[in-house]
Structure 1
Amino acid sequence: MKTNPGNFFEDFRLGQLIRHATPRTVTAGDQSLYTALYGSRFAVQSSDAFAKAIGYPAAPVDDLLTFHIVFGKTVPDISLNAVANLGYAECRFLAPVYPGDTLSTVSEVIGLKENSNGKTGTVYVRSVGSNQRGDEVLSFVRWVMVRKRDEAAPPPETVVPELAKRVEPAGLGQACPMLDPAAWDSGLSGSPYLFGDFAAGEKIDHVDGMTVEEAEHQLATRLYQNTAKVHFNQHSESQGRFGRRLIYGGHVISLARALSFNGLANAFHIAAINGGRHVAPLFAGGTVYAWSEILETAELPGRSDVGALRILTRATRDLPCTDFPVADGTPDTPGVILELDYWALMVR
């Protein structure tokens, strides 16, 4: 058989290295389509002139576009037969990506655990995206629930990796050059509030909502060359658990990030993702809202130009965030669908 059915749980081995097809050259067109899908307005990624003024050679590609492309490379080998993507940890942005860079991804299996039902198992992988020069641009761990091909196949030895609760501030900032804070134009960036204006415990309702259409989430997932069946094939998914196509969880992450501009406009760069959880599914027709809580503020060693905010952003479905809702364990009703814990850099 020349076609690829994808890997099932029993196909994975601890320590296995997987080199993913295919390399992807990122273009200005990709960035434009990404903007069209989410409406992201962060000045550094929107304007060459703004980015050059503060110290970048050009406007970098949106951090989450980089994440989705590197992630998308892994799907045919890691999660084509997945039931669900369960979480993320230790995600670090290691170098900026610019239009014209070519990205490729390699993953290592770092954990395996068969689930109690004997029908699925959880696979833990560390994936690393690199550019055409071999420079690592992104590294992250994710764990995914994968179907077994043969439910009678013996389970592997259980290995669950110990993962950091957060990325240490000392490890942040590699993907951000030294900047000139005096050149930061708050009028053009969209907010007068800089690093010193935020404190741990602060909560921000991002106010706006965005309704997702069927064509949009499929365009987005195809943009990342993410081939997961649950996002595209209504013929098969009509017979599945939900009876319809499931929106890629990364689509929700990008929506929440774009919505966060209203309140966090100067949080221009995601330096790391400490953890993430897809609390409940999203389907076309749902409207996404978001709110954020500042968990920590941190100085970066050797950097007087920027500081880091540790932000917990929660996205909701069909529920405005005036009252700062949290996950309540009722996924079939309007409520929280995403929790994303990340570090963002902000000019001092």
Structure 2
Amino acid sequence: MPILSSRHNRNWMEPPLILRLSKTVGLWSDPATWGGRVPQAGQSLIIPFGKRVLLDVSPPPLNGLEIHGSLIFDDQDLELIANWIIVFGELRVGSPLWPHRNRAVITLTGQHPQDHVEGLGTKFLAVMSSGALELHSEWRASWIKLNATAEPGAQHLILAQTPNWRAGYRIVIAPNSADEIEAEERTIIGVRGNLVTLDRPLKRRHWGALEVAPGLTVDERAEVGLLTRDVILRGQNVNSAGFGGSLLLMPGAQVHVDGLEATGLGQRGRFDRYPVQCYAGAEMFGAYLKNSSLHHNFLHNVDLQRTRGFQLKNNVIYDVLDDAYFLQKPNGVRGTGPLSERTLAEARVAALTQWQATPGWQGLWG
């Protein structure tokens, strides 16, 4: 459980219904919240310090949004669209006690790389040192091993445990070798017990049996990773130039992310605009990114250079144009260290993503 901070006036015991009834929270859809007129398309908005707003509708696309107070998503299907978002106060989608049970999407839409908002560029969600980011969806199993070998042409997977996945969710079946082309992405069309039905047949074999020898059992079963989450951060219109969005985390920011799908992120050719980036020298004790998926992104998916205390746990990383994790210890020595769990499992899917060498730049596979 994260440490609670009074500076953001947060109360983790508040369920969404209580927030809707609270006299201290203004509804986004209520003109009175905005002084008489609800926000219009293309506006740049500021939520001032001390003001709490409940996002109860999907607003029209914004130019930008500065949050000095609190913006809290109601527990319903919602989408917030903006070129950029800066959080000095609090942005909350669910909480550890009340995870978001519906679909919440934050879409970043900036299209002009030359734009520079507050020196941060554009197409970003930035959490400043005074800010707090809370993104929590209902828990879904990130990784489940096969319980039987899936042969080419098969359209069903038999898993080692019953998944809490749904029809329509996207999954990736990891390769058993170091050949990345063996990874296969599919959509679930049915789940019955531990039997998962896919939208189309597999092209390759995925091993799902234990290797047993006298006195030894070797588990080399392929794992299946869940790509879909119900809270989503995405970059829009990511073309061949790779101009995606970024989640920028400043030193001291409070960041608690559990169950996020991050896709279409990273700005190709810019080594200060990774999909998830903590700025060098950040003290991030208590911060975490777990039970999440990062897929179809550019550059290092998670860049934690000289960052202390940030926990990475049980994440799925797939189809990235560079490293899965790029970790640099405070003493300047690159390495994964104890920050990450399940790194090897993730590397099965991500280790042979497309690496593009840059003169004078060195990276380390996550």
TM-score range, shorter chain: under 0.3
**Greater relative contact order: 1 or 2 (C-alpha under 8 angstroms, separation 6 or more)?**
1
Q: Choose between structure 1 and 2: higher strand proportion.
A: 2
- Select the structure of larger CA radius of gyration: 2
Q: TM-score, normalization: structure 1?
A: 0.27
Q: TM-score, normalization: structure 2?
A: 0.26
